[in-house]
Amino acid sequence: METTRDWTIPGVTVGFAAVAVLGLLFLPDWLMNLTVIAFARALAVVGLMVLWRTGLVSFGHALYFGLGAYTVALLGKDDGISEVLITLPAATLVAATVGLFLGFIVRRYREIFFAMLSLAFSMVLYGILVKTEALGSTDGFNVRTPTFLGFAPEDAGTTLRAIFLVLCALCWTVAVLVHRYLQSTLGRLTTAIRDNEIRVEYLGYSVAQAIHGKYVMSAALAGLGGGILAIALGQVDPDSMVNWTVSGELVFVTILSGPGSVAAPFIGSMIYELIRTYAFEWLPHAWQLIVGVTLLSIIFFLPGGVWSLLARLRRREVE
Amino acid sequence: METAITILLDGLVFSSYLFLVSVGLTIIFGVMKILNVAHGSLYAWGAYTSAYLIGVWSEAGFGDAGTFLMIAVAALVVGCVLGFVLERGLIQFMYARDEVIVVLATFATFLILEDVILLVFGVDPYFAYQPMAYLGSAELGGILRDVYSLTLIGLAAVVGIVLWVGLTQTRWGKLLAAVIHDRELSVAMGIDVTKVYVLTFMLGAVLGALGGAYVAPMVSVAPGFGVEVIVLSFAVVVIGGMGSIPGAAIGALVVGIARAIAVHKLPEVELFVVYGVMAVVLVFRPEGLFAPASARKI
């Protein structure tokens, strides 16, 4: 029997190292900014991808995205903590804790009910934030300029580069860990649960626990992504962090990327950010139209996402 | 006492509004099992078209009474045209796909339609105050209220009763029940399921557009008009039970009254209340309060 070797881990290692080095050398500021935003969103999408492999789509992960973003912003409020070594783990932890509690509820549901319940929870947070004057209600508030291990960059360009490097390292770590997880027995249960829950139960695994674990993982990743986005944008507000359209965006990128590999969300997210930026520049009143048409085309013509396109190319090479 | 009446009236007006915008959503879900995110666009399209037509009508000097005709025309035209185009052009290819993928497809449609509105109607807000000015205001419970928003209660009641009678007492309603229960068997019995689906989708679309068209005179119709409505009507439909018309009515009443109480007593929790109720209901009854019983198939 011939098995193909798994190139994912060497692939993402080389990939992220190349992005980091080439990025520092050649990327202009606007493109680096775009990459940072894309990768931050991609971290949340990695979590959604794990859920999607299980057959679950959450229309409410903006809840965790927003929790992460607001955690970072709140820690830094009134000359508070700006050290990313503290703020980012805190963002992840807060999101994971909330995910752990809500997980007990959502793990009982599937399909459209899972999606709707997630949406309801995220809109509860949105409803609270919009009406909280202390947190700037709909306007939000500013996030402190980050420090990295005590190093405080002097100008915006250096800050951006520092965020970029930290993010590349984080993305690499997440990609490797999640890939390892997906290769493990627990990880392989994802597709098994989607195919037949009853069989999984008969094999001796608890479907509820497996889903709960994946849910917490996706919550933590969304929190981390939201935290980074808050730092990168320097501002948090309910509409761009917690509203249902943010959840929709995350699901959109998940579909665009495809469930094929942990590397897919990073590529998909980059493509999404490029489409959005260019569409916005050329046709400011029609960028949603272009995004919508892209989503429809992928649903119809590329159900496996961008990754399936790459996989198809590779298969042709092998033949 | 006066606050109680105000809360009740505000609550009823808001409930009627919620019922109007969400009943189309629940009908489409009940029959076709499609959660139509593009419902928000139909609502926005209805509002824009009605505001535009009312403007044209008034400028031509035909008198303000006729503006109500324009509202009806806007709802019918938008609902029938967009409903037909969406069902035939997109939804009919999605029946075999995952429910969640269909939601995404309608989400994409929502994004597209949202921008087409901007391209057609421009970015400036529309004001269509004429019908409201025509009906004037009346004193009720010691407070001056505009009559137009009160007529909303009547309209919601009429729509609800007509739908209820249509679905339970007529031949059409029985055909629908058969299709809902078992699509394949209905085909075998000679029911034209394609026709039923197209007409159901158009009916739902007309109702969504009617919600927007009737609300247009009460607000300024501006870009992003449909975004909030989507989750609001989701909340109503989910609370009542997806696919149930009495459920939509109860859901609208619960949300409407709860929000009116919040607005008057504790304005900070206004939005929170709506989704809080939705979350609590879903936790204890995931299928909603009045979900129609579904047949178990083996």
Of B284, B237, B205, give the one whose Cα is nearest residue B24: B205
Best B99, B283, B284, B285 member to test A by mutation, with max A CBs in 10 Å, is B283
Residue A274 lies inside a defined structural domain of this protein:
no
pLDDT at B152 over 70: yes
- In the A/B pair of chains, how many CB contacts fall below 8 A? 118
- Tell me the C-alpha distance between B50 and B159, whole Å: 19
Nearest chain B residue to A294 by CA: give it.
B108
Pair of tokens at residue A48: 């959604």
Residue A316 lies inside a defined structural domain of this protein:
no
DSSP labels, A215-234: HHHHHHHHHHHHHHHHHHHT
**CB-based contact (8 Å) between A272 and chain B?**
no
Residues on chain B touching A285 (C-beta within 8 angstroms): 115, 118-119, 123
Pair of tokens at residue B295: 């047949």
pLDDT at B87 over 60: yes
Query: What's the total number of domains in chain A?
Result: 1
Output the pLDDT for position B141: 64
Residues on chain A touching B287 (C-beta within 8 angstroms): 113
Nearest chain B residue to A118 by CA: give it.
B279
Residue B285 lies inside a defined structural domain of this protein:
no
Partner residue opposite B104 with nearest CB, options A113, A251, A285: A251
Residue A249 lies inside a defined structural domain of this protein:
no
Residue B77 lies inside a defined structural domain of this protein:
yes
Of B150, B147, B130, B129, give the one whose Cα is nearest residue B138: B147
- Tell me the C-alpha distance between A208 and A196, whole Å: 13
For B178-233, the pLDDT digits (tens) are: 888 777 888 888 888 888 888 888 988 999 888 888 887 777 777 777 777 888 88
For B11-59, the pLDDT digits (tens) are: 888 888 889 888 888 888 888 888 888 888 889 888 888 888 887 787 7
Q: How far is CA A291 from CA A38, A125, A271, B109, B112, in A?
A: 15, 27, 11, 10, 8
For A57-66, the pLDDT digits (tens) are: 888 888 998 8
**CB-based contact (8 Å) between A177 and chain B?**
no
Residue A176 lies inside a defined structural domain of this protein:
yes
**CB-based contact (8 Å) between B118 and chain A?**
yes
- How confident is the model over A36-52, as a mean pLDDT? 89
Query: What's the total number of domains in chain B?
Result: 1
Nearest chain B residue to A253 by CA: give it.
B104
Residue A317 lies inside a defined structural domain of this protein:
no
**CB-based contact (8 Å) between B286 and chain A?**
yes
Query: What are the backbone dihedrals phi and psi of residue A236, each rounded to the nearest 5 degrees, phi first?
Result: -125, 145
Output the pLDDT for position A219: 92
- How confident is the model over B78-83, as a mean pLDDT? 86
Q: What is the torsional sign of CA B122, B124, B125, B128?
A: negative
Of A258, A215, A52, give the one whose Cα is nearest residue B100: A52
Residue B259 lies inside a defined structural domain of this protein:
no
DSSP labels, A202-268: HTT--HHHHHHHHHHHHHHHHHHHHHHHHHHHTEE-HHHHTSHHHHHHHHHHHHHH-SS-TTHHHHH
CA A175 to chain centre: 11
Of A102, A82, A73, A133, give the one whose Cα is nearest residue A216: A102
Output the pLDDT for position A221: 92
Output the pLDDT for position A317: 67
In percent, the amount of chain A with pLDDT more than 70 equals: 97
Pair of tokens at residue B251: 């859901």
Pair of tokens at residue A215: 């849910």
Tell me the residue range of the domain where A189 lies: 8-243
Best B104, B230, B232 member to test A by mutation, with max A CBs in 10 Å, is B104
- Tell me the C-alpha distance between B185 and B287, whole Å: 25
Indicate the pLDDT class of residue A2, thresholds 50, 70 and 90. very low
Mean residue pLDDT of chain B comes to 81
Are B112 and A121 inside 8 Å of each other by CB?
no
Tell me the residue range of the domain where B210 lies: 24-226
Ramachandran region, residue A294 (left: φ > 0; alpha: ψ -120 to 50; beta: rest): alpha
Closest-CA distance of chain B to residue A123, Å: 6
Residue A257 lies inside a defined structural domain of this protein:
no
Indicate the pLDDT class of residue A168, thresholds 50, 70 and 90. confident
Residues on chain B touching A111 (C-beta within 8 angstroms): 99-100
Partner residue opposite A111 with nearest CB, options B100, B114, B276: B100
Residue B258 lies inside a defined structural domain of this protein:
no
| β-sheet bridge partners, residue B143 | B140
For A210, residues 6+ apart whose C-beta sits below 8 A from its C-beta are A54, A186, A189, A190, A193, A200
Indicate the pLDDT class of residue A318, thresholds 50, 70 and 90. low
Query: Which of the pair, B85 or A5, is modelled with greater confidence?
Result: B85
B28 CB-side CA count, 13 A: 31
- Tell me the C-alpha distance between A273 and A258, whole Å: 16
Tokens 């692939």: give the residue. A11
Partner residue opposite A128 with nearest CB, options B100, B235, B272: B272
ipTM of this complex:
0.80
Residue A263 lies inside a defined structural domain of this protein:
no
Are A285 and B100 inside 8 Å of each other by CB?
no
Tokens 């505001």: give the residue. B51
pLDDT at B295 over 70: no
Residue A255 lies inside a defined structural domain of this protein:
no
For A14-28, the pLDDT digits (tens) are: 887 787 788 777 878
**CB-based contact (8 Å) between A156 and chain B?**
no
CB atoms near residue B157 (< 10 Å): 13
**CB-based contact (8 Å) between B270 and chain A?**
yes
For A64-104, the pLDDT digits (tens) are: 988 999 888 888 777 777 777 788 888 888 888 998 888 88
**CB-based contact (8 Å) between A195 and chain B?**
no
In percent, the amount of chain B with pLDDT more than 90 equals: 0
